[in-house]
Structure 1
Amino acid sequence: MMRKNILLIGFTTALVSGFALAAPVHNTNITEEEVRQAQDAWGAALIQISQDYTEGGLEKAKATAEAVLNQAYGYQQGPVLFKPTLASGETTFRITHDGALSYFVGDNPDFDDSGFALKGWEKYSFENAAVYINGDLALTMGHVHMTNSAGETTTVDKTWGFKKDEQGDVRIVLHHSSLPYSQ
């Protein structure tokens, strides 16, 4: 009987100790506030790239765009489904980091881009028509308004997909942009 009690105590201690050493639970669910922060950060980055181009030329703008792509987009996780506003033909879809960088700052002979982020953008706002959240993935659809230094506003229809990674960073994994349809 004594041997059974010792075995039972030993088993219980090992079982409880195992739970104490279990890895902490990490919540990767994305929130609507995190999505809005990511959208705000994207707009601020677009304006920063434009300012850097105005103040320091293409190399400064390209360095900023490179940092933005590395931080905001999920290219390190795999292809990003990116369809820029003014892209067409064989280079319509930018599933690679280099394709996205070219769209924002041009200067790549493989793509016919003049650099969307180099257009003197000074203001940015967005209106989400809807936000869909499922665990670590969020999808949004709505309008983005950008105003340049001449006071001209461009509005685009934007669909974004955001995924929260293992480190808790929210990254763009889907980016579709188009000009509103007009008759």
Structure 2
Amino acid sequence: MITKEQVLEVQKKWGDGVVKIGSLKENRKACEHFTKDFIDERYAYLNGPVVFKPTKCALEQFRSEKEEAVSYFIAGEDRKCDEDKGFALQPWKKVRFENSGIILEEKRAIAMGNYYFTDIEGNEAKVEFTFGYKLDNGELKIDVHHSSFPYVLNTIS
């Protein structure tokens, strides 16, 4: 049975990885290498399908291939999706998860809530998330990732 502690640990590793990517933005080669390893370690692309809906995507909303995920995180001249700007290159100083709920099963877990990205000036961006994790050789890997900005009520009738 997957435990809550395992989910919290993998969330921390994901957040720390996003922060690390931004810290490497001045060394493109190291940044690319780390990001590709990060995607392999955190996501299940190597062992099955992944459904990924990043926050800042409008034209190419879904990222079912590893190269598309790399493009979203770090963009670059060879980016797979033209709209990508390199979300993880902000850089972020901290990522904090607040889970609204976690569903635990024997080989699968789902977490939903808000995560907060703090930039180097201390500004915090709130983003809603749903992550699905599957147990893969003893490791939790993301195979469902949806994130979006919170809904803003339109006051115009």
Do both proteins adopt the same fold according to a TM-score greater than 0.5, normalized to the shorter chain?
yes
2:118 to 147, 151, 155: 147
Return the alpha-carbon distance in structure 2 between the equivalents of residues 72 and 109 of structure 1.
20
In the alignment of these two chains, the number of paired residues is 151
Match of 2:151 in 1: 181
C-alpha distance in structure 2 between counterparts of 1:67 and 1:39, whole Å: 16
| One-letter amino acid matched to 1:43 | G
Structure 1 outlier segments of 4+, above 3 Å: none
Instruction: Name the TM-score, length of structure 1 as normaliser.
Output: 0.79
Q: Which residue of 2 aligns with 1:60?
A: 30
How far off its partner does 1:109 sit? Answer: 4.4
Q: CA deviation at 1:58?
A: 2.3
Structure-to-structure mapping, 1:1-183, within 5 angstroms: 29-53=1-25, 56-89=26-59, 91-107=60-76, 108-111=78-81, 112-165=83-136, 167-183=137-153
In 2, the alpha carbon distance for the partners of 1:51 and 1:87 equals 23
Cα distance in 1, alignment partners of residues 125 and 144 from structure 2: 21
TM-score with structure 2 length normalisation? 0.92
Q: Deviations over 1:115-149 (max 9, x none)?
A: 00000100111100000112110001000001111
Structure with more of its chain in strand, by fraction: 2
Q: 1:116 and 1:45 mapped to 2: Cα distance?
A: 13
CA contact (8 A) 2:114 2:128 kept: yes
- For structure 1, which segment, 77-86 or 101-110, has the greater mean C-alpha deviation from structure 2 after superposition? 101-110
Give 1:150 shift: 1.9
What RMSD in Å do the two structures reach over aligned CA positions? 1.1
Could you list the runs of 5+ residues in structure 2 that have no partner in the other structure?
none
Structure 2 distance, partners of 1:78, 1:169, is 14
